[in-house]
Structure 1
Amino acid sequence: EWRDAASDAMKGGAGAFRDALAVEFPSDPKGGIPFFGMGEPNRPVTIYQWKSDWRSARDNDVDEKYPNMIVDWYPFSGRAPGEIAEAVDYGKKEEGKAFLTSWAAGNTLGGPALQAQRSVEKLVARGFGTITPVADQQQDGEANALWKNGNWTAVLTIPRAQEKFTFARGQTVPVAFAAWDGAKSERGGEKAVSTWYFLSLERPGSVFTYVAPLLAVAGVVAVELAGLRGLRARRNPAVAHQSFGAVARQWIRDLRAMMTRGGKGSA
């Protein structure tokens, strides 16, 4: 959760920028801790970036920014003259991608199909200027986010099993974060960034963790009953032959009587 005065998405303009959040961790923690700024050549990092306008990208196009715009015809889109084409219209046929050059080149930022499916992009980096998205079939991040009263709240979900390691209970993994504020024209390398934090995945608690307090209480009660029985036996030898159950019942009766007297006294 982080503060952001406005909810921003890229709404069909070159000067509009999205809000975003990224989580970074070593691609292989066994290889050591890489530099938090995009990793190192021999120690890459994996990055999951949530983008506020993905999954709703077709609703943030140029015709949403300029609702009164008029067009004549978008060739090869399958749309009739006068209809505004969406980017996804050009993906209905493979040759149509040629009109969206970034999509045709394999850039996930230009792929409306992927953006419609999820709001998180998975990337790998090995130093400055090397950040690269993984293939579409390896994109496995999910997120749900809500902006309300000047705050973004996001829940990012990623698989435990990564390419070179698995997040396991009892493990400690370095993680770093970055956030982009679209209202401040932040994009690319312009962002707020943290250094490494250390995420410790707790081990599951054993049954003994929950049973131990009960055993301790039972032990204390047993000791008190034994002491009470010994004290009564000194005062009355006949009590020495009573069972622990009888002593316990008498102890409870005495406790109730004491509480009753105390209640009457306070009244």
Structure 2
Amino acid sequence: MDRPGWLAAESAAMVRVEELAAPPSVVRRADAAALALLDAYDRALAERLRHPAQDLLSRWAAEDPAGARYLLLTLFSAGVPTTAALLAGTALALTADPALAERIRQDPGFAGPLTDELLRWDPPGRVVTRVTDADTGLGGRPVPAGRVVHALIGAAHRDPQRFAAPHVFDPDRPAQRLLAFGGGLHYCLGSHLARAQALAFARAFARELPGARAAAPPVRHAGPSMADIARLTIHSPLT
């Protein structure tokens, strides 16, 4: 738990299993990462049981250690890579169009609609997979129980019936419901934290790196489910 680089690497390896048609090597690596992460969380919870502190982890360890290990797996190991993808997309937008960074410097509140448009334009996850637990319908078509359904969030966010000029990046568009954080029972518990981190990052980036430019096109993961940025090289006049 005290090795941020290890935690980030194992978390990234685990979430890659969500990619459509992930090869067996990715599945095996994800399984190993999940086991290693759960072991680390178990050790952290056991330490809190032995030496409780005035923090949330100590409370979880005392009340429900079995549930806490999976909650930690969700918060850190699933939430960190997706939040990192959102922050990388923010950095790309601010370096591709420096006028956006200038607007944030002049009006920090502009970071809000910019983040919302980034979640529409380039969501951290473009596909989510669900299994129907009962006969239902989707888009006017029947879907039997037990059927695997791949919901294309990236495509839904470019639906011309919901978004005017959907293929145009426009942070000034009216606020609309997005699917980047899911919905219903599956709505992301960490959505408010992720958005708060994105707002703070955008404001700090605009303030601390004026004039920053992308030095090369971003390198992305292959996708299609998670075509997030693997590397983005930035040039700043201040460095």
TM-score by length of 2: 0.27
Higher strand share goes to which structure?
Answer: 1
Query: Which structure's CA Rg is the greater one?
Result: 1
Higher helix share goes to which structure?
Answer: 2
